[in-house]
Amino acid sequence: MARKLSLSIVLFFAITILTFSISQLSIAASVDKNGVIHWKAQSTWIRGPGHQELADYFTETLNHLCKGQLVIDKMYAGGELVGAFEAIPACSKGKLDIVSGSGFYLTGSLPWISLIIGAVATDMKYADQLLTWQWKGGGLELYQEYVDTKYNLKVFPYVVTPAQVIYSTKPITKKEDFKGLKIRTTGSVNMEFYKSLGAQAVTMPMSEIIPSLERKVVDAAKFALPYTDYPVRIHEIAPYALSGVLDMPVTISMEMWINGDSWKALPDDLKEKVEYAVKLSQFWSIYHLGWKNARLWEKMLDEGLKVAKASPELQQWMYEKGRELGEKYAAQDPFAKKILDSQETFLRTYNKYYGHSVFFR
């Protein structure tokens, strides 16, 4: 009797351990019979040139570096497995292992994320500043700390983009043009910024921008960059553009989001390779997008896009509105203050040397 009882106990614990292991695999990565780790991946982007191409480049780079130990079989586009806005939360829950997406899509639950990845409410104006703060000045650790408050995710910023133009169906050149303007943007800070200018700010996935402009649901939109904007012919629907620093001087526009359990399950050497793939993709995106954007911008101008550069008075007005928002956020929330203080401390040292240069400007 005692022997049967002991065998039952051993069997019970064996089944429990096996069940736990299987359940862990179901919420993290799958491992095939050869020991290869397979990650299920999706982006939040529409398929085609631009954002999805960058996500695919990361996938190819990671697969090459990992040499069959860790594999992303396919980087699905937004909506092919789950909705674009649902992808990052789905990754946190283990339905996906990795997502290429924007932190701006999480501002409903992480309102200060725009201060980390790019907003006029901060003093981060140039790519070299933002990248150096992220990788060496404590920005990435602060970003992870903030994400940890709500999600089971590892975050790696990997695409940095310059200030985006505002495309519009009517000219925007002065303060009064923002009053009542219906504009698509992303991020709670950026939305509040445009509301402070008198506009009606809304957000939506990239796939909905063109139909919304066509149906006059919005009058204007922050889309992305010429490499993404030209193929969808946004300049034919919204033939006016306002350029300048505007609401987002420079942004981390794309991040890789990895399920926390999938990340923890990786051996250290594969974790290093994931980080290398991120950095290589970030470098590739700078020169790849830089050249493509320049050539396609020229085409958009040739095809009739009318561009107005924000006047010094208009840009100064925007800077002042942004500064007011930054001061407001720092006063009302300790984490917002922590982010802004970290950036200010970093820039005090960084700008002593680089403040006079034109690096990335």
User: Quick one: 177 and 118 in the same domain?
Assistant: no
The CATH number of residue 46's host domain is 3.40.190.170
- Residue 166 phi, psi dihedral angles, 5° rounding: -100, 120
Contacts of 266 (CB under 8 A, 6+ apart): 37, 70, 274
Q: Fill in the amino acid letter for 20.
A: F
User: Quick one: 115 and 49 in the same domain?
Assistant: yes
Torsion of CA 219, 224, 229, 235, to 10 degrees: 30
Nearest CA among 223, 208, 207 for reference residue 45 = 207
Render the burial of 121-148: b for 16+ CB within 10 Å, e for the rest.
Answer: bbbbbbbbbbbbbbeebebbebbeebbe
Q: Assess contact for 340 and 122: CB atoms under 8 A.
A: yes
User: Quick one: 153 and 178 in the same domain?
Assistant: no
User: Quick one: 82 and 148 in the same domain?
Assistant: yes
User: Quick one: 142 and 274 in the same domain?
Assistant: yes
Q: Assess contact for 197 and 282: CB atoms under 8 A.
A: no
Instruction: Give the C-alpha separation, 40 to 81, whole Å.
Output: 10
3-state class (DSSP) for residue 358: coil
- Residue 79 phi, psi dihedral angles, 5° rounding: 90, -10
Instruction: Give the C-alpha separation, 225 to 125, whole Å.
Output: 17
Token pair for 314: 């208009």
- Residue 161 phi, psi dihedral angles, 5° rounding: -130, 150
Q: Assess contact for 39 and 263: CB atoms under 8 A.
A: no
Token pair for 233: 């012919």
Model pLDDT, residue 22 = 37
User: Quick one: 90 and 217 in the same domain?
Assistant: no
Token pair for 108: 């409903």
User: Quick one: 102 and 246 in the same domain?
Assistant: no
Residue 201 forms part of a structural domain = yes
Model pLDDT, residue 18 = 38
Length of the chain: 361
Question: Of all residues in the chain, what percent are helix, strand and coil, respectively (each to 5)?
Answer: 55, 15, 30
User: Quick one: 98 and 143 in the same domain?
Assistant: yes
pLDDT one-digit tens code per residue, 249-263: 888 989 999 999 999
User: Quick one: 221 and 338 in the same domain?
Assistant: yes
User: Quick one: 265 and 189 in the same domain?
Assistant: no
User: Which range marks the domain in which residue 192 is found?
Assistant: 166-250+305-352
Nearest CA among 68, 111, 59, 118 for reference residue 274 = 59
Nearest CA among 187, 171, 43, 220 for reference residue 114 = 187
Residue 97 forms part of a structural domain = yes
Model pLDDT, residue 359 = 53
Residue 12 forms part of a structural domain = no
Residue 79 forms part of a structural domain = yes
Token pair for 297: 């911008």
Nearest CA among 158, 126, 173, 301 for reference residue 226 = 301
3-state class (DSSP) for residue 171: coil
Model pLDDT, residue 161 = 85
Where the chain has pLDDT below 70, the residues are 1-29, 356-361
Residue 128 forms part of a structural domain = yes
Token pair for 252: 């981390």
DSSP 75-123: EEPTTSSS-TTTHHHHHHTTS-SEEEE-GGGGTTT-TTHHHHH--TTSS
User: Quick one: 155 and 184 in the same domain?
Assistant: no
Residue 3 forms part of a structural domain = no
Q: Is 280 exposed, middle or buried (0-12, 13-18, 19+ CB in 10 A)?
A: middle
From the CB of residue 119, how many other CB atoms can be counted at a distance below 10 Å? Answer: 26
Residue with the two structure tokens 């982006």: 43
User: Quick one: 61 and 91 in the same domain?
Assistant: yes
Q: How many domains is the chain built from?
A: 2
Instruction: Give the C-alpha separation, 71 to 63, whole Å.
Output: 5
Q: Assess contact for 140 and 157: CB atoms under 8 A.
A: yes
Instruction: Give the C-alpha separation, 108 to 156, whole Å.
Output: 20
Residue 343 forms part of a structural domain = yes
Residue 11 forms part of a structural domain = no
